Structure 1
Amino acid sequence: MSDLADKSARALAQGYREYAFSPVEVMQAVLARCEARKDLNAFVTLIPEQAMQAAREAEALQASGADLPALHGLPYSVKDLTLTKGVRTTMGSRAMADHVPETDAVAVARAKGHGAILVGKTATPEFGHKIHTSSPLLGRTLNPHAPDVTPGGSSGGAAVAVATGQGPIALGTDGGGSVRIPSACCGTVGLKPTQGTIPNLQAADLFSSNVYVAPMARDVGDTRLLFDAIRGFDRRDPFGQAVVPLPRRAATLRGLRVAWLPRAGNPVDPEIAAITGDAMARLAREGVEVEEITLDFAALEPHFMVILETLLAGRVGTVSGAARDQYDPSLMVHVDNGMSHGALALAATGAARSRAFAEVQEVLSRFDLIASPTLSAPPLPHNQDPHGSVPIDGVPSGRVRAVWYPYTIATNLTGHPSISIPCGWDSHGLPVGFHLTSAWYQEDFLLDCAELAERVFAFDLGRDGA
């Protein structure tokens, strides 16, 4: 039965409709896998009793012969930053260890409405503030491919869960690359949608938010399945008022115009450059028209930090004395910095964000996609200082967001949809991510292109996935 935990969400959905197995059997297999991989620390909270009860109800609906909803009986997890009614949502913080929301986030309610079954809440750094998935509440989450390096953050628990069969699909959040970074580190897929496409009403400032609720899975097809179920505007979201244009689709790679961005004002590890460059060349051999471009996304990092640290300071507030001891010290560095950012810094940040949007728009007026590495170096060791200089090819090269993932922070600021898919393995047996960005509201096109590229790369995570 344990191989059911390795099947794709699409294969499980098909199996239910063919009566090949039941939601109860699948949930038993997934919960057994969660127990077997407790060493990875992917979950803050598991709810096996509730999950099994929901699976029994799903089995009864399956047996009735009724039409089944899109996510019927599919186990899934939710990052512990996202509200889940009746299931504790700690934000990875000891200060919120007993917080139980009275409502579901929009995406959670939609997933539940389409029949998905919550398994539990996945690990996050405290308030999602850093690149490592570790917190005072839970401790350290391990990369399933190498325990000495990070699974990435801040949706690291979600990436680890889907990579290891602890549920085929997951909801993460992405405030600067937080689904795409762990996807690159763990060999999975993470989609950051267009701003407003999946409402995120938890943000304090809905008008200037750069945090997105985002689907994650082991492949593009499962990512699309979850995205299609939870997408759709909400009038309560200021970016949820537009009329969506007719979706563009892609049936072939041939003729696509791709802007290749190997560097974004940052150095790149030679092996990462070679692997992602080869991936781009493989797509070119399939008929993609490639032109190398230059964009200095690394220059956005100081402005990104103003947003991040101001929001964290607003969230945590002034903390002094012994009360500071309950928080992650690295979080308090950001909070203290956030207290010092003034109105002029915020104004400059808004202007920089606007310029970046214009730059990406100009590129996408000439190209169908922007492609790049997801990360400029392999997964970093757990002891990497989140405030220190990141080594690239052994040389200290600057702060983490400017050096390791400027590609991802840019589209959090500009609102464009982006996806990370695995394109190969490095010499240490760690996966390498490939990043694609398209125009606003073109997720269908972006997912089509990602799925076509996925077939070319033929990446094997080492699981059944059938």
Structure 2
Amino acid sequence: MSELHYLTATELARLIKTRQVSAVEVLRAHLDRIDKVNPAVNAVVTLAAGHALEAAEAADRALAAGEPTGPLHGVPVAHKDLHDTAGIRTTYGSPLFAEHVPEQDDLMVRRLRAAGAITVGKTNTPEFGTGSHTVNEVFGATRNPYDLSKSAGGSSGGAAVALATGMVALADGSDMGGSLRNPASFCNVVGLRPTPGRVPAPSDTAAWYTLSVPGPMARTVEDVTLMLGAVAGFDRRSPYAIKEVFAPEPEQGVAGLRVAWSPDLGGLPVDPRTAAVTATAPAVFEGLGARVEQVELDLEGADDAFRTYRAWFYLLAHGDKSGLGPNTAWNVEQGRKVTGADLAGAEIARSRLYQRMAAFFDTYDVLIAPVSQVPPFPVEHPHVSEINGHKLPDYLSWMRSAYWVSVLHAPAASVPAGFTPEGLPVGVQIIGRPFEDARVLRVARAFELATGHGRRRPAL
């Protein structure tokens, strides 16, 4: 019990429900951890200690009174600073909203609170979640806890670091081009990009936009599954929300499953250190009884489709703002160049890709591949500019192994796969058929249990 802050959310929920520990005790252990380690990593950027203490005391009173409790009763959670939290500052990582305090919670935040989770604070993100490196002009950079000189990834970098260091048991995030998967890979935690609509994201401006999805992060697949069960579910304000109730698959391993392995997602450059770690994954699955086959993947059209839809979205969401940071402004300018013909081409390319992958998944149950093409890079670098001697044309290009997958409308999890010789974490990406989030999590859980890489903690 001396390290409550590193117990899983599943275990904390059980201990609180059986009254072996109180929600207040659990909260204080995590607040103490934040006080000790957050100054070094800058992951939690707005702390809501008073709010959290009131909620924890109320959670304990509810248990004492025998009132019904949710699956996350008393479990500490942090929310990405893109997600609105009523009465708690939400900046979106932008100086334009540095003192913004919303009046209402986002749907995901509301569902987490309804499940009994205790909001501890907000986690750092680049401006409007733009990019896979967590740095902004409001709070500065979030540092990787395994090497403080390195990036934590992004855009849910603060969430990943808060989890890796035991500051919270659960964290939410969002993923357009890898923002749940890349920081999970960089920080040795688990992130799930759910099938679009699994966790609805109602919007007044981009209700039909499916590239960006909210989702769960945790230190274990079991905790991600628990959290997904709390936040998934139909909401009629989202036109593509999934009505099917999310139900986890039993932990029955992966024996007999057909696993496709792509070391480079169809020809992308991959850093040799990342390649060496992810190349160990196929043997793990073979040892578990799966049938593994290396494949030549055809994701033609994914790049153009993603970039076109992303640019269009940034113009839609931020085209009326002045004073934007350079990455967000660049995306808006790309959006101003998008034509009707561009959108038509993107729709055709994405539709053809979807049908090719539907045929692919007639043969294979899951696809495994690197999450990111590189391990964590120096924190002072704005982005990766070169991989294996390949010069990259812009700050988006190093994220292709994640954002090509975003176009597939498929669930994808990042699970710890090992470490580079320098001790930097590397994740493997497990991609499933659209709507088969439970299958992806079952496979991820089997890999996690077989390897144990996620149990390694940063030496802060």
TM-score, with length taken from structure 2: 0.93
**1:112 partnered with 2:113:** yes
* Change over 3 Å in CA distance of 1:247–1:6 after alignment to 2: closer
Give 3-state SS (helix, strand or coil) of 1:191's partner: strand
Q: Contact (CA 8 Å) 1:259, 1:363: kept in 2 or not?
A: no
CA distance in 1, matches of 2:89, 2:246: 38
| 1:396 aligned partner | 391
The 5-angstrom pairing of residues 118-137 of structure 1 reads 118-137=119-138
Contact 1:200 1:237 survives alignment (8 Å): yes
Q: What is the Cα deviation at residue 459 of structure 1?
A: 0.8
For residue 181 of structure 1, what is the aligned residue in structure 2?
A: 182
Secondary structure of the 2:199 match is coil
State the secondary structure of the residue aligned to 2:367. Answer: strand
**Structure 2 CA distance, aligned partners of 1:99 and 1:246?**
37
Query: In the alignment, is the contact (CA less than 8 A) between 1:2 and 1:33 conserved in 2?
Result: no
Change (3 A) 1:250 1:62: closer
Deviation at 1:249, TM superposition (A): 5.1
Counterparts of 1:338 and 1:233, CA distance in 2: 31
**Separation in structure 2 between the aligned mates of residue 340 and residue 73 of structure 1, nearest angstrom:** 48
More displaced stretch, 231-240 vs 327-336 = 327-336
Q: 1:204 to 1:267 in 2, by over 3 A?
A: same
2:313 to 286, 311, 314: 311
Provide the residue aligned with 2:274 in structure 1: 272
Give the Cα–Cα distance (whole angstroms) in 2 for the partners of residues 460 and 44 of structure 1: 25
Larger mean Cα displacement after TM superposition, 327-336 or 205-214? 327-336
Is the contact between residue 250 and residue 445 of structure 1 (CA under 8 Å) also seen in structure 2?
A: no
Once superposed, what is the RMSD of the aligned Cα atoms? Answer: 2.1
CA–CA separation in structure 2 for the residues paired with 1:309 and 1:411: 17
Looking at structure 2, the residues matched to 245 and 229 of structure 1 have their Cα atoms a distance apart, in angstroms, of: 9
Q: Deviations over 1:247-275 (max 9, x none)?
A: 76561221110111111230112222222
Report the AA paired with residue 282 of structure 2: M
Aligned-partner residue type, residue 359 of structure 2: E
Determine what percentage of the aligned residue pairs are the same residue.
Answer: 36
Runs of at least 5 residues in structure 2 that lack an aligned partner in the other structure: none
Corresponding residue for 1:12? 12
Matched, 1:346 2:348: no
Secondary structure at 1:266's aligned position in 2?
Answer: coil
Shift of 1:60: 1.3
Q: Distance in 2 between matches of 1:347 and 1:378?
A: 35
Cα distance, 1:298–1:23 mapped onto 2, change above 3 Å: farther
Say if 1:129 and 1:297 are closer, same or farther in 2 by CA, change over 3 A. farther
Q: Distance in 2 between matches of 1:412 and 1:226?
A: 21
Does the 8 Å contact 2:126/2:136 carry over to 1?
yes
Q: Does 1:47 align with 2:44?
A: no
How far the C-alpha of 1:341 sits from its partner, in A, is 1.9
Q: 1:276 to 1:241 in 2, by over 3 A?
A: closer
Instruction: Provide the residue aligned with 2:375 in structure 1.
Output: 378
Q: 1:413 aligns with which of 381, 384, 407?
A: 407
Query: What whole-Å deviation, never above 9, does each CA across 1:318-337 have from its counterpart, x for those lacking one?
Result: 55xxx53xx32222222222
Normalising by structure 1, what TM-score? Answer: 0.92
CA contact (8 A) 2:262 2:295 kept: yes
**How big is the shift at 1:442?**
1.5
CA deviations 1:365-417 (Å, max 9, x no partner) are 1111011111121112224344xx63224553555544x33332133222111
Q: What's 1:222 paired with?
A: 223
- Check conservation: 1:247, 1:442, Cα contact below 8 A: no
Structure 1: gaps of 5 or more residues: none
Q: Find the residue that maps to 2:407 and give its secondary structure.
A: helix
Q: Please state if 1:457 is matched with 2:459.
A: no
Deviation at 1:186, TM superposition (A): 0.3
The C-alpha deviation readout for 1:141-182, integer Å capped at 9, x for no partner, is 111111222101100010011111111101100111101000
Distance 2:148 2:414 in 1: 22
Residue in 1 that maps onto 2:58: 57
Query: C-alpha distance in 2, partners of 1:396/1:436?
Result: 28
Aligned-pair CA distance for 1:102:
2.2
Moved more, 127-136 or 306-315: 306-315
Q: Is the 8 A contact 1:266 1:298 kept in 2?
A: no
- Structure 1 stretch 426-435 or stretch 377-386: which is displaced more? 377-386
User: Are the counterparts in 2 of residues 133 and 154 from structure 1 also a CA contact under 8 Å?
Assistant: yes
Instruction: Indicate if the aligned counterparts of 1:72 and 1:115 stay in contact, CA closer than 8 A.
Output: yes
Paired residues, what number? Answer: 456
The answer to whether the Cα contact below 8 Å between 2:189 and 2:454 also exists between their aligned partners in 1 is no
SS at match of 1:149: strand
* Aligned-residue offset at 1:18: 2.8
* Mapped partners of 2:249, 2:360: distance in 1: 18
- Secondary structure at 1:30 match in 2: helix
